[in-house]
């Protein structure tokens, strides 16, 4: 079975149909997705700006202690709502370049955040390395948001 057939099967599923045919479900999930996006932006930025020396003057590791809960919560909500949105129109997504750009950026953003950015911040790292990782992480998340919005236009 090809990926395209899988997309067709998901589209025909009961859940996919329910979200697609309901008036309120898709907008409600979409709105929750956006609220979580704002929370993710805030929790990543509050640490990043401190790392880059242009935000809070508190050590980033200290900021992380509060911020990481919101970051993790936002990522979980974004993934769940994102998957629900995807289930409702997978055939359309399959054919959209913006969707694949978003998925690739998402993988990069998640890897950069959880394998590099967070561990370095927790360890209290400083210098050019952590700054570079921060810039990459921010750029990747912005790409995810931008490509995500673009799915609706392409």
Partner 1 sequence: MLEGLITKLADTPWSIGLHESLYMYAITESAHVMSIMLFVGTIAMVDLRLLGISYTKIPVSQMLSKMLPWTVAGFVLLVITGAMLFLAIPIRTYHSLWFRLKCLMILIAAVNIAIFTFKVERDKAAWDLGPVPRKSKICAVISLGAWGCVIVFGRLIAYNWFDCDSITSATMAGLTGCPLDPG
Under 8 Å CB-to-CB from 61, ≥6 apart: which residues? 121, 122, 123, 124
Among residues 141, 25, 2, which one has the least CA distance to residue 85? 25
Binding mask 59-78 for partner 1 (x = CB under 8 A): ---xx--xx-xx--------
Candidate list 7, 10, 19, 46; residue touching partner 1; CB under 8 A: 46
Give the range of 14-22, 55-63, 111-119, 120-128 binding partner 1 by CB under 8 A: 55-63
Q: Which of 8, 25, 49, 100 binds partner 1 (CB under 8 A)?
A: 49
Which residue has 């805030």 as its token pair? 42
Based on CB atoms, which residue is closest to partner 1, 7 or 48? 48
Per CB under 8 A, does 140 bind partner 1?
no
Q: Which stretch binds partner 1 (CB under 8 A): 49-57, 81-89, 101-109, 120-128?
A: 49-57
Residue with tokens 């990543």: 44
Measured from the CB atom, the residue of 42 and 91 that comes closer to partner 1 is 42
Is 40 within 8 Å of 75 (Cβ atoms)?
yes
- Please classify residue 51 by burial: count the beta carbons closer than 10 Å to its beta carbon, then call 0-12 exposed, 13-18 middle and 19+ buried: buried
């Amino acid at each position: 079975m090809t990926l395209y057939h899988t997309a067709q099967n998901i589209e025909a599923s009961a859940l996919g149909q329910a979200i697609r045919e309901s008036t309120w479900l898709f907008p409600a999930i979409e709105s929750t997705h956006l609220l979580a996006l704002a929370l993710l932006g805030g929790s990543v930025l509050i640490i990043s700006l401190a790392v880059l020396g242009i935000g809070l003057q508190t050590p980033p590791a200290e900021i992380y202690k509060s911020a990481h809960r919101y970051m993790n919560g936002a990522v979980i909500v974004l993934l769940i709502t994102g998957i629900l949105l995807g289930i409702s129109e997978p055939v359309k997504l399959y054919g959209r370049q913006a969707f694949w750009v978003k998925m690739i950026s998402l993988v990069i953003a998640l890897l950069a955040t959880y394998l590099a950015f967070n561990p370095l911040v927790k360890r209290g790292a400083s210098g050019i390395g952590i700054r570079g990782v921060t810039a990459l992480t921010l750029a990747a998340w912005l790409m995810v948001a931008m490509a995500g919005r673009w799915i609706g236009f392409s």
